[in-house]
Structure 1
Amino acid sequence: MIPKTDAFTGGFSEPVYQSQTVFRALMDGMARPGTLQTVATQVDPPPPVGVAAGAVALCLCDHDTTVWMSSALGKSVFGEWLGFHTGAPLTREKTEARFAFFELGAALPPFGLFSTGTQEYPDRSTTLIVEVAQLADGIPLTLRGPGIKDTHAIAPGPLPETFVRSWADNRAQFPRGVDVILTCGAQFVCLPRTCTITAREQ
């Protein structure tokens, strides 16, 4: 079998510097939930993966981080691309995944199906990277919690109607729980488990 060339191209041209740049944006996003972050470094992941999701994958994944991906991504070259550039192994078991990737329009399973860590090691949980169509004109949501002065408004979409309830259940497990990164093209927002999310009236 001849490997697909897409798996060997589109990664970081300067891995150390570019990974640090993306990591700083991720840390800022986690420290200030809901703030819009932009990937300024060049990366070209295979479709249907967007720039921000690809950059996050290159930054966070390595041979010790097991990755789960939605069915459409599993049928794409993304798994080979991720394996070639990071060495990250894939799994079909949601509870084994450190990171889970969803393409635009993919169904979002209940958060509890993924690893939520343990009381002793809450960091051993899954981070969900979810591609959405927009980050500004979708479902109006209000964020509260550490890193947020009073409240912060976001409007990503599309998201399932059950998202707010699922997040409340996730937040109730703190310090356990999943974290979510919503990506759209070259931009993303972080939703750490420390924040509360409620629906905002339009």
Structure 2
Amino acid sequence: MNTTAIYAPGFADPVNDAQQVFRATLEALARPTIAQHVRAAVQPPAPLSATAAALVLALCDEQTPLWLDDALRQNSDVEAWIRFHTGARLVDDASEALFCVASSPSTVPPIDDLAQGSDEEPHLSATVIIDASDAKPIGSFLVDGPGVNGQISWDGRGLPASDFLEIWTANTRRYPRGVDLILAGVDQVTGLPRTTALTSNVQKEMS
């Protein structure tokens, strides 16, 4: 275990930086698929990206059950760094987590298996943070729902590619229950809340 990596600084200005990331995340979820700038000036142990790390610092604390994918957990420094800076409790079962961190779109746990909340307590559902810093577009989608100005198109950069549209449609139908996604790009975040509907734009263009 690399103690230097564990004690690597978090936010340079903990209060203001955390507030900036938190506000950007709220704005990203309020304006789905529209990227928002974040100050991700942190240096977490690899393979945890700077933006994903900034989100963890801003959103998680000792009350937060947190799940990390296998790639992140293979480096014990990642877990130790998160514990040192947030006190968050790491869980082995993704279904027990309020936040899940995936180091790539391909390692996102099955959305249907995650905490969905309830009609009375929808806030007890999971939020998935996906490292999208190296992600490629996966298709052409039409985006609709609260916070969307009319209907916009989106390339789905950062989303899991396999059968995602069908899975996401089922997720939106569970509202007010359901899972939210935060895509962590390079110094930016993009939100996809459970209220946002996606449809294939390819079919629309061919019709």
Could you say whether these structures have the same fold, taking a TM-score greater than 0.5 normalized by the shorter chain as the test?
A: yes
Pairing of 1:181-192 with structure 2 (within 5 A): 181-192=182-193
**1:138 Cα deviation after fit:** 4.0
**Which whole-Å CA distance do the structure 2 matches of 1:17 and 1:158 have between them?**
30
Given that 1:141 and 1:199 are in contact with CA atoms closer than 8 Å, whether structure 2 keeps it comes out as yes
TM value normalised by structure 2: 0.90
The count of aligned residue pairs is 200
Secondary structure at 1:59 match in 2: helix
How many percent of aligned residue pairs carry the same amino acid? 34
Q: What SS class does the counterpart of residue 16 from structure 2 fall into?
A: helix
Q: CA deviation at 1:161?
A: 2.4
Counterpart for residue 82 of structure 1: 82
What does 1:24-39 align with in structure 2 at a 5 Å threshold? 24-39=23-38
TM-score by length of 1: 0.92
2:198 maps to 197
List gaps (5 residues or longer) in structure 1.
Answer: none
What is the RMSD computed on CA atoms of the aligned residues?
1.7
Identify if the C-alpha distance between structure 1 residues 80 and 117 changes in structure 2 by more than 3 Å, giving closer, same or farther. Answer: same
Partner Cα distance (1:114, 1:55) in 2: 22
Match of residue 130 from structure 2:
130
Tell me what 2:175 maps to.
174
- Is the CA contact (8 Å cut-off) linking 1:70 and 1:106 kept in structure 2? no
Give 1:151 deviation, angstroms: 1.4
Q: Deviations over 1:101-131 (max 9, x none)?
A: 0012543332111100011101001100111
How far off its partner does 1:184 sit?
A: 2.0
Higher helix share: 2
When residues 21 and 69 of structure 1 are mapped into structure 2, their CA distance, relative to the original with a 3 A threshold, is same
CA distance in 2, matches of 1:161, 1:153: 19
Q: Which residue of 2 aligns with 1:96?
A: 96
Distance, in Å, in 2 between the alignment partners of 1:14 and 1:109 is 33
Letter aligned with residue 172 of structure 1: R
Pairing of 1:107-146 with structure 2 (within 5 A): 107-132=107-132, 133-134=134-135, 137-146=137-146
Inter-partner Cα distance in structure 1 for 2:118 and 2:104:
30
d(CA) in 2 for partners of 1:54 and 1:8? 14
The answer (yes or no) to whether the contact 2:117–2:178 under 8 Å persists in 1 is yes
Aligned to 1:46: 45
| Kept after mapping to 1: 8 A contact 2:91/2:97 | yes
Q: Which amino acid aligns with 2:89?
A: P
1:177–1:200 distance in 2 versus 1, CA, 3 Å: same
Q: Distance in 1 between matches of 2:52 and 2:102?
A: 9
Alpha-carbon offset, residue 158 of structure 1: 6.0
Relative to structure 1, is the Cα distance of residues 105 and 146 closer, same or farther in structure 2, using a 3 angstrom cutoff? closer
- Which of 104-113 and 139-148 deviates more? 104-113
The CA distance in 1 between the partners of 2:63 and 2:104, in whole Å, is 26
Compared with structure 1, are the counterparts of its residues 42 and 150 closer, same or farther at alpha carbon in structure 2 (3 Å cutoff)? same
SS of 1:64's equivalent in the other structure is: coil
Contact 1:139/1:158, CA 8 A, preserved across alignment: no
**Matched ranges for 1:5-24 at <5 A:** 5-24=4-23
8 Å Cα contact 1:68-1:90 kept in structure 2: yes
